[in-house]
Amino acid sequence: MPEPKPEPKTYPLVITDIRNLPPKTTFDRIAVQITGVDWSIIATVEAPYENGAATLALPLEFPAEQLQVADRRGGNMAGYWPGTASDPAALVATLGDFIAYRGDEKVGRIYRSDWSGEGSSASKAFVYYQYADRPFEVTGATTSYYYNDCSFVAGWNAFANINPSSEGLHGNIRCTTAGLDRLELTWNFESWAH
């Protein structure tokens, strides 16, 4: 009798205590797509939303051919980061939007931030998740972003895009992996616009 295949290794991402949920809005699951090589969808992860929580089991292993080059070095627009990765061989996969469903109906988007959804989003952080096949750092700047304390470890990483402190055209968005534990981050709901 053949040995049973071991369960794939996963990283649990817990979504709970969702704020800004309208009183009559309900959903039963949360799903997120994972993008990889050439910006293609390489996996979809979903979990039931029960008792005010969902735990997404993010894969910890990907075939290298499914992963995306970490940066756009040499004008390679198939790379993820417009900044420069310290390891040119680094590969990544990135979570898209967290979508709340009631049955097959998209109800809304869930995001992690220190912004309540009201008032100015100046100086507010919006958190995203990326898998890295090895450690690397992103440095540099574009006309919209600058990369500061942006270090990734092998496995899943949280990073934040932090808006400039003033509204308007002044300042760039800071992308960082540092100090996220010092922010008052919450999961927030945004109704799906039809």
- Encode pLDDT of 91-131 as tens digits: 999 999 999 999 999 999 999 999 988 888 989 999 999 99
Q: Kindly state whether residue 5 falls inside one of the protein's structural domains.
A: no
> Which pLDDT value is given to residue 170?
58
Domain encompassing residue 184? 10-189
Closest among 39, 19, 18, 42 to 30, alpha carbons compared: 18
> Which pLDDT value is given to residue 194?
47
Q: Kindly state whether residue 147 falls inside one of the protein's structural domains.
A: yes
Q: Kindly state whether residue 3 falls inside one of the protein's structural domains.
A: no
With contact defined as beta carbons under 8 Å apart, do 108 and 25 qualify? Answer: yes
> Which pLDDT value is given to residue 192?
74
- The structure's pTM equals 0.91
Q: Kindly state whether residue 150 falls inside one of the protein's structural domains.
A: yes
Q: Kindly state whether residue 160 falls inside one of the protein's structural domains.
A: yes
Q: Which residues of the chain have pLDDT under 50?
A: 169, 194
Q: Kindly state whether residue 4 falls inside one of the protein's structural domains.
A: no
With contact defined as beta carbons under 8 Å apart, do 69 and 94 qualify? Answer: no
Q: How many helices (H) and strands (E) does the chain have?
A: 0, 15
> Which pLDDT value is given to residue 157?
98
Task: List the structure tokens of 78.
Answer: 């198939």
Element (H, E) at 174: strand 173-176
Q: Kindly state whether residue 28 falls inside one of the protein's structural domains.
A: yes
Number of domains in the chain: 1
Q: Kindly state whether residue 180 falls inside one of the protein's structural domains.
A: yes
> Which pLDDT value is given to residue 1?
67
> Which pLDDT value is given to residue 101?
97
